[in-house]
Structure 1
Amino acid sequence: MAKQLDYNTMREIFTRFRNSEPEPKGELEHVNVYTLVVAVALSAQATDAGVNKATRKLFEIADTPEKMLALGEEGVTEHIKTIGLFRQKAKNVIKLSRILVDEFGGQVPNSRAALQSLPGVGRKTANVVLNMWWHYPAQAVDTHIFRVGNRTGIAPGKTVDVVERAIEDNVPVDFQLHAHHWLILHGRYICVARKPKCGACLIKDLCPFEEKTI
């Protein structure tokens, strides 16, 4: 685990990220905030590409909690059976849809606590929704961000909560909105787990990672 980088280095790193990708986007397909919640909940222990493949037809026929309830658990299961843990996820989609209808008038709430009250929605999922839909500078720490944060010194920490706080505390505020997307994309395509592509890295001269590849 690298030491926390200093402020000037952090500014330079995120300036490079922003210059390369001024408006980074999440890769989960959705048509409204409800389908975003469902897609992010389904993405746990699954790839975005796999979730997108499964949800395209699902969201064509069920893009509201009411329509999802009408489809039923078995109907949801049929659409998402290519995704890991699909049976439990189908149960959660139906349960969260019922709660949205019964307790929130069919609307997705925009507080972290309310989002986390939904089955299958943890802090990471809530933060993704708050960031992507309501443009709140929430930091959703997944395996990519955890790895990048620790390798680079951008956000070192032994737990996801510590890494989340390190991003909030140390990334300059003008980069906070897109920070988690830049870090996810960097971890997904460049700073990969086994053989990081250091030769193609925008920040290789600023990164203290000792096991850099050529």
Structure 2
Amino acid sequence: MPIIDPLTYLKSVLAKDFEAKTHLHRRHEEEPHSLVITISRDYGALGELIAEKLSHSLGIPVYDQEILDRVAKNAKTEKYHFEPHDEQSSAGLSAFLYSLISGNPATLNDYRRHLCNVVDELSRNNCIIMGRGAHLILSGKPIFRVRVVGSKVVCAHRIAEEFDIPLQKAEHKVFEINNKRHKAVVDLYSDRIEHCSLEFAKNFDLVLNTDHIPAEGASAVILLAMREAGLFKEIPLCKA
């Protein structure tokens, strides 16, 4: 009996599932929902690679660094005004220094307001949104919220190999960036959402530990979970 690749099989099942249900869905008068996936990830847990695999399978774009560009455009300002509040900014660079340089400081509330507008706008079309608390911004919408985690040791080994740096330095980098991402979310949303911590599992539809699962397998697990959640009634998979 020939061995079938699990991901290939899963894709074929989901594609058939879409084809079987599309004609039924078209009978409804309401507009179909966009397919939106938010991915919150630990540093080194393969989140970006998983997003890339999902993007290829579903034929939808991934938004990460582009989000800050859109926030700046939305606010009609330069993106460096908002970088101190973004999860990817340097941990040692403060908003105070930016205000001295630019003369036009952006407050946390400014950033949050424009970020929410940008994320809401992106969610009107099929897409994958990386980080920035998008799972909280869109919590009232029919989206799929994924949290990708990994142990500090495994994530550090991946980072050390990727950047060819000592393991101890990689461990520090993992710890620092994870703390920065967590703090960015708490600072942005704690005054509005009681349990906004990235460790609060109930804020996600699926929490996936990738210590022993490669990105390809993790994307397959996510696709299957999304199918069970009923999110493949509108969106077909790419058949490539």
TM-score over 0.5 for the pair = no
Q: Output the TM-score relative to the length of structure 1.
A: 0.26
Tell which structure's C-alpha radius of gyration is larger: 2
Q: Output the TM-score relative to the length of structure 2.
A: 0.24
Question: Higher helix fraction: Structure 1 or Structure 2?
Answer: 1
Question: Higher strand fraction: Structure 1 or Structure 2?
Answer: 2
Higher relative contact order (CA 8 A, sep 6+): 2
